[in-house]
Amino acid sequence: MVDVRSEPERRLRAAGILQEVSARLGPVARVRLGELEGEAFLARLEQMHLDVVEPLDLLYGRRTELAALVLDLAGVVLDAAAARPWPLRLLDRRREVDPGWFQRSRMIGYACYADRFGGTLAGVRDRLDYLAELGVTYLHLMPLLAPREGENDGGYAVADYEAVDPRLGTMADLEELAGELHRRGVALCVDLVLNHTAKEHAWARKAAAGDPAYRDFYLVFGDRTLPDAYQRTLPEVFPDIAPGSFTLVPEMGGWVWTTFNDYQWDLNYANPAVFRAMLRTMLELANRGVDVLRLDAVPFLWKRMGTDCQNQPEAHLLAQAFRALTRVAAPGLLFKAEAIVAPEMLVQYLGAHDRFRPECDLAYNNQLMVVLWSSLAARDARLAGRSLSRLRPEPPSTGWVTYLRCHDDIGWAVSDVDAAATGWEGFSHRRFLNDFYSGRHPGSFGRGALFQENEATGDARISGMAASLCGIEAALASGDEAELDMAVRRLETLYSVVFSFGGIPLLWMGDELALRNDPRWADDPAHAEDNRWLHRPPMDWAAAGRRADPATLEGRVFGALRRLADARRSQLALRAGGETDLLFPDDPHVLAFRRRHRRSAPLLVLANFGDGWQSVDAGLPAAVGLTEPEHVHSTRGRLDWAEGRLHLPPWGFAWLTNR
């Protein structure tokens, strides 16, 4: 990005442009929104000049007349503000007064496919009492907009952003569900697949029919020269099912950029018309009652020759401009970044750049997820401590989404540097993890499967449900009760970290019942090529029926997660916006960190990844400010102090606070 203007110059120009736009739009806004709301709308617009005009200038300033673009987009936003239903405006009002609403320790997330959980959107609504039992306040429904027919990458190939998948219901059903969730104090998160559309989307069809305006919505190359040049530095996301990043499409007269599957065409964000169209889509969903947009594959939005075409500065500028503009109409809307990237690049999606630039409010903490599984297999928490301590802190107005499993595979984002500092070799450790979780390692309790093994690089990722990866599946198969106890403990301890690291913990559907891999995952021919369906089983409502019985596996796991949720709610230190400090105890099996928030007592979390009793120096709590350590929650419901040490049972955890 070469920009000849200096930053102060750009700022002045930005402020000037927004003043002008605001003056032109002002009278209309006051009429359409009323005096009070019109004034608030204009104030938001003007306040955001740094977040809107600057990014747009850098993105499109050389291609279009900036003032006209801003005026046009502000008009799109005003239309959305005028169409915003009253109940949502009331929510906005609350959230503007209380911008930390999503950071509270009462926030507990749950992610599922609507069809696999409840059949339809109406079916999901009928199951909300179940989620209430778990204390869920944040519901992420996997892609639910109309996808292409047949293979659609789990809904990540959208054919129509304006319609709900007809098998799930209608937009009216979505509105009704959102309304019911809001009455229950639950926020709704929905996927926005913005990097690509299905090749069946109307934009793609028009492009293929020769409409030049729509052709410019995609990235098309007449011959292989540029694709080959790009491909030299592009990693393959699906080397096995969709090798390469370009697809020859005769109707388009060339090669179309397809980062993921060949039916998913990447959008051309260098074209402001694409930005405008996606902005409208976002506002439309916000006005249906969606509270959080999960920005799918956001690192991929901008391409640059000679790079891996991920995490480019422009991808951040796009997210910043989208956020600022959508907020003007829907101040209660949040963005969640789905950026499964190297740890040093992650916090940038939360706005941590050279200066804070509001970007996404939430981001998946992929690093935590990866090192939890790494610690479990290695029975060693040192790598986890080291790499998590290197994670730059998230800006105080944002938060992590912490999780153990999701619908995707686990990619071993373990840096060679962190591995070396632990005395391991990065590549062999990643290979060990693949062997361990695919069950090939001698004595392994993991029952997952390799995903996208890359012959050329030796890389692979892992598919599998948490219960299968942590040993529950293996223990059930062998009928070994003691081993089952240990496996349940592993699951509980992993989640004890997810629930206490800070941010919103997100449960993946089925983990609360220890659901295992779906043995019938390949039955659907549209899924057979993609073993991520192993860990996307249909909800087992019969198993859920046993959740109140502590003598059953389901009862034990469900009860454990409920207790974690209850304990979490009582701890102010767990709200997002606080700080997580990694500690380095004298036992390599124990992961230890302190969670702090300026309004509360600290919380000390200890998790034992060893298969025997382990201990930390009894002075550790005092050393981090817990002079009168008090038990909050733990595997055994009490703290075991002996001989100057605090002892943790095999695979056990403990939460302590200061009396």
- 603 forms bridges with which residues in the sheet? 595, 657
Choosing from 60, 217, 260, 609, the residue that interacts with ligand OTU (CB under 6 A) is 260
**Which residue number, 299 or 502, has a Cβ lying nearer to ligand OTU?**
299
Q: Which of 54, 92, 296, 380 is catalytic?
A: 296
The distance in angstroms from the start CA to the end CA of the chain is 53
**Which residue number, 158 or 484, has a Cβ lying nearer to ligand OTU?**
158
Task: Give the list of residues 6+ apart from residue 382 with CB closer than 8 angstroms, or none.
Answer: 422, 588
> What is d(CA 106, CA 574) in angstroms, rounded to the nearest whole number?
9
Tokens of 531: 């073993």
**Which residue number, 51 or 153, has a Cβ lying nearer to ligand OTU?**
153
Q: Least distance to ligand OTU from the beta carbon of 192, Å?
A: 11
> What is d(CA 549, CA 323) in angstroms, rounded to the nearest whole number?
45
DSSP for 426-446?
HHHHHHHHHHHHTT-STT---
**Which of these ranges, 85-93, 293-301, 520-528, 574-582, lies near ligand OTU under the rule CB under 6 A?**
293-301
**Which of these ranges, 275-283, 332-340, 367-375, 570-578, lies near ligand OTU under the rule CB under 6 A?**
332-340
> What is d(CA 491, CA 471) in angstroms, rounded to the nearest whole number?
9
Quick check: is 296 catalytic? yes
**Which residue number, 56 or 340, has a Cβ lying nearer to ligand OTU?**
340
How do strand 504-508 and strand 109-112 relate by DSSP bridges?
parallel
Q: Least distance to ligand OTU from the beta carbon of 304, Å?
A: 16
**Which of these ranges, 176-184, 337-345, 556-564, 600-608, lies near ligand OTU under the rule CB under 6 A?**
337-345
> What is d(CA 459, CA 426) in angstroms, rounded to the nearest whole number?
12
* Binding flag, residue 339, ligand OTU (CB under 6 A): yes
Choosing from 61, 118, 254, 299, the residue that interacts with ligand OTU (CB under 6 A) is 299
Q: Is 232 exposed, middle or buried (0-12, 13-18, 19+ CB in 10 A)?
A: exposed
**Which residue number, 252 or 341, has a Cβ lying nearer to ligand OTU?**
341
Site for ligand OTU in 398-437 (CB under 6 A): 407-408
Q: Least distance to ligand OTU from the beta carbon of 451, Å?
A: 8
* Binding flag, residue 338, ligand OTU (CB under 6 A): yes
Q: Least distance to ligand OTU from the beta carbon of 412, Å?
A: 13
Q: Least distance to ligand OTU from the beta carbon of 74, Å?
A: 30
**Which residue number, 147 or 289, has a Cβ lying nearer to ligand OTU?**
147
> What is d(CA 367, CA 436) in angstroms, rounded to the nearest whole number?
19
**Which residue number, 154 or 621, has a Cβ lying nearer to ligand OTU?**
154
CA distance to 115, 272, 523, per residue, from 537 (Å):
11, 40, 12
**Which residue number, 122 or 237, has a Cβ lying nearer to ligand OTU?**
237
Q: Least distance to ligand OTU from the beta carbon of 296, Å?
A: 5
* Binding flag, residue 341, ligand OTU (CB under 6 A): yes
Helix (H, G, I), strand (E, B) or coil at 614: strand
> What is d(CA 546, CA 607) in angstroms, rounded to the nearest whole number?
28
> What is d(CA 603, CA 654) in angstroms, rounded to the nearest whole number?
10
**Which residue number, 263 or 499, has a Cβ lying nearer to ligand OTU?**
263
Q: Least distance to ligand OTU from the beta carbon of 155, Å?
A: 9
Q: Least distance to ligand OTU from the beta carbon of 260, Å?
A: 4
Binding mask 133-172 for ligand OTU (x = CB under 6 A): --------------------xx-x----------------
* Binding flag, residue 484, ligand OTU (CB under 6 A): no
Which of 109, 259, 100, 115 lies closest to 194 in space, CA to CA?
259
CA distance to 320, 327, 338, per residue, from 317 (Å):
5, 15, 16
DSSP for 282-314?
HHHHHHHT--EEEEETGGGS---TTS-SSS-HH
Tokens of 181: 């969730």
* Residue pointed to by tokens 């690049």: 345
Choosing from 297, 301, 329, 476, the residue that interacts with ligand OTU (CB under 6 A) is 297
CA distance to 14, 39, 51, 73, per residue, from 44 (Å):
15, 9, 11, 14
* Binding flag, residue 521, ligand OTU (CB under 6 A): no
Q: Least distance to ligand OTU from the beta carbon of 275, Å?
A: 19
* Binding flag, residue 359, ligand OTU (CB under 6 A): no
* 154, amino acid identity: G
Q: Least distance to ligand OTU from the beta carbon of 266, Å?
A: 10
Which of 357, 476, 354, 466 lies closest to 410 in space, CA to CA?
466
> Judged by CB under 6 A, how many residues of this single chain contact ligand OTU?
15
> What is d(CA 596, CA 583) in angstroms, rounded to the nearest whole number?
13
Binding mask 202-241 for ligand OTU (x = CB under 6 A): -----------------------------------x----
Q: Which of 115, 175, 200, 338 is catalytic?
A: 338
Q: Least distance to ligand OTU from the beta carbon of 348, Å?
A: 13
DSSP for 305-368?
TTS-SSS-HHHHHHHHHHHHHHHHH-TT-EEEE-----HHHHGGGGTBSSSB----SEEE-HHH
Choosing from 74, 193, 449, 450, the residue that interacts with ligand OTU (CB under 6 A) is 193
Q: How many CB atoms lie within 10 A of CB 228?
A: 12
Site for ligand OTU in 526-565 (CB under 6 A): none
**Which residue number, 88 or 146, has a Cβ lying nearer to ligand OTU?**
146
* Binding flag, residue 340, ligand OTU (CB under 6 A): yes
* Residue pointed to by tokens 């540029």: 226
**Which residue number, 266 or 435, has a Cβ lying nearer to ligand OTU?**
266
Query: What is the set of active-site residues?
Result: 296, 338
| Contact positions vs ligand OTU (CB under 6 A) | 153-154, 156, 193, 237, 260, 296-297, 299, 338-341, 407-408
